[in-house]
Structure 1
Amino acid sequence: MLKISLVVILSCVCCRAEKPGCLKEHLIKEIERNLKDLQSMHVHTGENSGETYIRWGKTLCPKESNLIYDGFAAGKHFNIGGSGTNFLCLPKNPDWNDYKDGENTGRGRIYGIEYEMAYNKPYPKTFHDKDMPCAVCQSSKSTVLMVPGKVTCHDGWHKEFSGYLMSQSSTNGRTPSEYICVDENWNTCLVEMQIVMRVSYIR
């Protein structure tokens, strides 16, 4: 996050008594100069500020948002207790800290998330058991809100994307998870990779 410290310096300007307008003119010029500086700071920081969100099912962000990174959706195993209940968007190029292979007993585990498609609605069954991609996006807006049960935004809000609520299955033996909004135009990791390659080739 870009942090800016604004330092205000008070200065005393002395003018001769025979020129009463000197101080006033100087202060006006100082105020105008400070105003220009503040305006330029606003433009500069505005491009790098805004709330972040995860676009599940896609590796690209909407045109109004900036892509921070794309990766793979991940979470706990569907029938194992413990670990975390939240979903994560794991980057494709992780940094490995101090660890040792094979020492996983009793520790939280993370697995890739797959689509489970029982019907052809709203998506084809060909997506069944395919990995879910994700993208971490930065909006130009100051607040991001996911509204369940709606595909339109309230007055004064701007829609980034819409989709379907998804979670862990409710069948026996499955453990709870959070609900996430998966993009209505979502793809699998393989399809997304092909799309990105085509886009890169065209450009």
Structure 2
Amino acid sequence: MTPPEIHAFFARLSAANPAPVTELAYGNGYQLLVAVVLSAQATDVGVNKATRRLFELVHTPAQMLELGEEGLKAHIRTIGLFNSKAKNVIALSHRLVAEFGGEVPDSRDVLETLPGVGRKTANVVVNVLFGQETCAVDTHVFRLANRTGLAPGKTPLAVENGIMKRVKAPWRRDAHHWLILHGRYVCTARSPKCGECAVADLCQFRGKALAAG
């Protein structure tokens, strides 16, 4: 995509959804961090279902430590990889209490040192909580960046760097939210709804005509 096409791409997505937000349910920064860690290789719907009762009981890392690993597992058994995720959530909660006064750090680099927190998770947290201009590349963002020609790349980091370089203000901060939602509901992996797509004419997807038909 050319710079004018990229501007038009996000202008249209913004017009349809001016204030995109994560679909993960949370009440504070700590709960968001936990929810994003749990969402790896799981759907937001599944995570929200599992955390609905959990987040009624647990609002802080100290409360999570009181609940304990086995108590946490009882709430998240429906989520894939729940054993390792429970271990990581307890371990990161220990770190938050011991080193950060129970608060979520506002540094991506620091967040990435926490158990179970990779670059994607850290990007989500600093973007949503602290308004930082980051791009969390999940499967939807990776697919759309390559399929549309927005920011092609062979790795998530390459796509992230491409988006951060090519997408300008005022779109950069919310770019990954628009891409995630568009990929989740319109530009789906197997059956993209090109005939319903507001940005189809800007997209370089070779199968566009067939999908639109």
Tell me which interval the TM-score lies in, with the shorter structure as reference length: under 0.3
Q: TM-score, normalised by structure 2?
A: 0.23
Going by fraction, where is helix more abundant, 1 or 2? 2
The structure where strand makes up a greater share of residues is: 1
TM-score, normalised to structure 1, is 0.23
